[in-house]
Structures are given as C-alpha cells and as structure tokens.
C-alpha cells in the first residue's frame, strides 16, 4: 500500500496504523517505508557520494544532479499469529508445601502446518494427567517421518518478576513426548512438570510454545501450594498447680 502527499511540519509526529489479519499460523514479514522529500522539490546537498557509507546509501535516494532527493526510514514488521485463549481451562498443579509432585501436561497445537488447519480452534487445550530443573527455554523438533521437521521453542512465563522470583526456582519443566497427526496436522506435546513448593502459595503462569516458522500458543497454568502437614505434636504434662512444665525440641533452619 502506498500513501503519498502527507505534509509534515517541523517536529510534527506521524502515526502509521498497521493492521494484521493472519489466515494461517505462520509468521508474516513486511516493511514500513517512509520516504521524505522537501516540499519545494530541492535536494539536500552533500560533499561527495564516495563518502557515503553503505548504510547511508540504503537510506537515501540520490537525484541525477548529485543531491539527496529523499530520505528513507525503513521499519521491519513481523506479524506473529497467536492462538486464541478464550475457553481454555487452566492446568492446575497442586501440592502441599514442603513436598514434591510431578504432573504430565499435554498440549495440542492446531494449525501448525499451513493448510492442515487454517486457524487454531477450541481444541487448543492443556490437560493435566496425574502420573508419575529450573525453568528453561528449549528447542523442540517434531516430525511425522514424511514431512519436514517442525521446530518449536517453549518456556514458562510468569505474571511479574516478583512471581518469577518466588515460583521460578520451585518449578521444573521437561518435554518427554511429542508427535504429530499426519491427517489433521495437530501437534501434541507432553511435558513433565515438577512442583516443589516451600510454603503455601497460589500463582498463575503461562506455558508459551512458539513455532520457528511463526505462530504462538499460550496455555494458562495455576500452581497451588497448600498448607504443609503437621510436623509433630508437642505434649506438655503438668507437674502440679502453678508449676511450670518444660519440653524442649529442635528446629532446623532450611536456609542460612
């Protein structure tokens, strides 16, 4: 699309709207190019064209008489489709404080292969299976044996840095299985999530999966740490009225 004839006063701002309407789960690339010329048609002079470096030569248009006719601003735009999250139910990981639990989380990625499923549907979901470190961003390769390999990146994102500092060291995530249905194009990734909380808490996180060809899938997760079990019961036996009874016990600190 080309828009011409826009006049700008000195130090005036120019807003350029960009509309993105993807029809497949792949990345789209475009360039927003601003070409500025003097209103009176005169050129900007410069000393010697040989002095222009390569970066500057790509940013100007040179007139036949040797002057700079126009100046270019080039902005690359990457359009990355994101699967809709409405109707998605959070995968809930529950554990008592000071204990450790492992859960398998299965996510379905639709629309990975262009043409197989044009846009993600409600089948994008995260399911937790009871089964039998530190958060990482890892590259995943999925192949069906006939098509080219599809590569993914995944990571666990938190609502804030404060939540990340509290939850990040308590959650481990590892991919244990991946497969793709050749007919529907749906990719299934199964993660093993380890949660070992040290105190009661309730925090939300998002499992983000991105295909290197473009397309992002987000799956909400909820981590709940419940009150820990009682360590012990202390019985104090009275030795008489108005007399003190003493029981000693040891406490071990988990940190310095």
List the domain boundaries for the chain: 28-79, 82-113+150-228
Mean pLDDT to the nearest integer, 224-245: 92
User: How far is Cα 33 from Cα 71, in angstroms, rounded to an integer?
Assistant: 10
Q: What would be the CATH architecture of the domain defined by 82-113+150-228?
A: Sandwich (2.60)
Q: Environment class of residue 90 by beta-carbon count within 10 Å: exposed (0-12), middle (13-18) or buried (19+)?
A: middle
Q: What percent of the chain has pLDDT over 90?
A: 35
pLDDT at 141: 55
* CA dist., res. 193 & res. 211, Å (int): 21
pLDDT, mean of residues 79-86: 82
pLDDT for 89: 79
| pLDDT surpasses 70 at 36 | yes
pLDDT at 147 over 60: no
Report which listed range, 21-35, 78-92, 121-135, is most confident. Answer: 21-35
Out of 149-153, 217-221, 232-236, pick the least confident: 149-153
d(CA 27, CA 154): 17
Question: CA 127 from chain center: how many Å?
Answer: 19
Say what the pTM is.
Answer: 0.67
**pLDDT higher at 213 or 126:** 213
């Amino acid at each position: 699309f080309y828009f011409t004839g826009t006049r700008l006063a000195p130090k005036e701002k120019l807003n350029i709207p960009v509309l993105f309407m993807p029809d497949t789960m792949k990345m789209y690339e475009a360039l927003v190019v601003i070409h500025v010329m003097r209103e009176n048609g005169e050129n900007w002079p410069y000393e010697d064209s040989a002095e222009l470096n390569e970066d500057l030569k790509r940013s100007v248009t040179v007139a036949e008489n040797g002057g700079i006719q126009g100046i270019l601003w080039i902005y690359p735009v990457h359009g990355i489709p994101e699967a809709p999250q409405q109707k998605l139910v959070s995968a809930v990981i529950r554990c008592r404080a000071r204990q450790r639990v492992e859960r398998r989380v299965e996510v379905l990625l639709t629309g990975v292969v262009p043409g197989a499923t044009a846009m993600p549907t409600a089948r994008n979901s995260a399911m937790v299976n009871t089964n039998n470190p530190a958060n990482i961003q890892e590259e995943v390769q999925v192949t069906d044996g006939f098509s080219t390999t599809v590569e993914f990146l995944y990571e666990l994102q938190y609502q804030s840095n404060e939540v990340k500092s509290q939850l990040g060291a308590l959650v481990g995530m590892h991919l244990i299985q991946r497969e793709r249905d050749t007919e529907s194009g749906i990719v299934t990734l199964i993660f093993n999530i380890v949660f070992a909380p040290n105190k009661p808490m309730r925090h939300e996180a998002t499992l983000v999966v991105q295909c290197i060809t473009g397309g992002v899938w987000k799956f909400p997760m909820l981590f709940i740490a419940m009150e820990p079990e009682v360590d012990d019961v202390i019985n104090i036996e009275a030795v008489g009225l108005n007399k003190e009874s003493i029981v000693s016990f040891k406490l071990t600190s988990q940190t310095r």
